[in-house]
């Protein structure tokens, strides 16, 4: 089932997600719906807040972004990032491992809005996976950027909060204001 997306201006996007205790059948169905929704809107990551639920759960699949490479290490061994996809992260903890790099980002909650965001290039990720078991890996490139963007969502942080100053043009500010206004009007 395709779930309705929440857009900038919807207060749920600013809510810190509650920790998920266990993967229930209801949650499994919700995860499946999140993947369907992400695919429909051609995203590479989707956080629960983006479909109206403030919990620490995100789904990721970077396989469609072929021109933006990712790296992966599991137990110190290099691995194929695609082998981890599709990826479910529950209660993720992200530790930066190296220097920040600048890169372009968008977000399904901000249609047609893009900007440069500086984030660590490589991170260690500890989380509960979709089957409820702990997972741990080190990733870089696009996957690291995506994991950080989505984990931010789970804490009510949005990419515009971290956007490079040079990306924050007057035009972008106007677009954001308009989107916020439209979202609030639609919620009334
Ligand atoms: Ni986003």
Task: Supply the pLDDT for residue 66.
Answer: 82
Bridge partner residues of 96 (DSSP): 123
Of 91, 79, 38, the C-alpha closest to 62 is 38
Task: Supply the pLDDT for residue 20.
Answer: 98
In 3-state terms, what secondary structure has residue 13? helix
Is residue 3 domain-resident? no
Is residue 145 domain-resident? yes
For residue 85, report the distance from its CA to the centre of ligand 1, in Å.
Answer: 18
Is residue 29 domain-resident? yes
Is residue 6 domain-resident? no
- How would you write the pLDDT of the chain (188 residues) with one tens digit per residue? 999 999 999 999 999 999 999 999 999 999 999 999 999 999 999 999 999 999 999 999 999 988 899 999 999 999 999 999 999 999 999 999 999 999 999 999 999 999 999 999 999 999 999 999 999 999 999 999 999 999 999 999 999 999 998 889 999 999 999 999 999 999 99
For residue 162, report the distance from its CA to the centre of ligand 1, in Å.
Answer: 12
Task: Supply the pLDDT for residue 36.
Answer: 98
Q: How many structural domains does the chain have?
A: 1
CB-based contacts of 177, cutoff 8 Å, min separation 6: none
**Catalytic residue numbers, as ranges:** 150
Is residue 2 domain-resident? no
CA distances from 153 to 4, 5, 161, 162, 185 (A): 17, 14, 11, 12, 23
For residue 160, report the distance from its CA to the centre of ligand 1, in Å.
Answer: 10
For residue 113, report the distance from its CA to the centre of ligand 1, in Å.
Answer: 11
CB 51 within 8 A of CB 118: no
Is residue 79 domain-resident? yes
User: Using a CB cutoff of 8 Å and minimum separation of 24, what contacts does 75-81 make?
Assistant: 79/137, 81/139, 81/141, 81/143
Element (H, E) at 159: helix 159-162
Enclosing domain of residue 116: 11-187
Is residue 5 domain-resident? no
In 3-state terms, what secondary structure has residue 71? strand
User: What's 80's domain CATH number?
Assistant: 3.90.45.10
Is residue 90 domain-resident? yes
């Amino acid at each position: 089932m395709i779930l309705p997306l929440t857009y900038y201006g919807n207060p749920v996007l600013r809510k810190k997600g509650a920790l998920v205790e266990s993967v229930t059948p209801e949650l499994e169905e919700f995860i499946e719906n999140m993947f369907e929704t992400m695919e429909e809107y051609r995203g590479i990551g989707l956080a629960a807040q983006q479909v109206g639920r403030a919990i620490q759960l995100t789904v990721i699949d970077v396989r469609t972004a072929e021109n933006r490479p990712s790296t992966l290490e599991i137990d110190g061994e290099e691995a194929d990032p695609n082998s981890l996809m599709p990826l479910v992260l529950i209660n993720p903890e992200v530790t930066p491992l190296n220097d920040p790099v600048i890169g372009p980002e968008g977000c399904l909650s901000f249609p047609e809005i893009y900007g440069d965001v500086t984030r660590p290039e490589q991170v260690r990720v500890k989380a509960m996976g979709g089957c409820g078991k702990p997972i741990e890996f080190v990733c870089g490139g696009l996957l690291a950027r995506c994991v950080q963007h989505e984990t931010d969502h789970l804490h009510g942080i949005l990419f515009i909060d971290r956007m490079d100053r040079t990306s924050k043009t007057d035009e972008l500010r106007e677009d954001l204001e308009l989107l916020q206004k439209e979202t609030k009007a639609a919620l009334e």
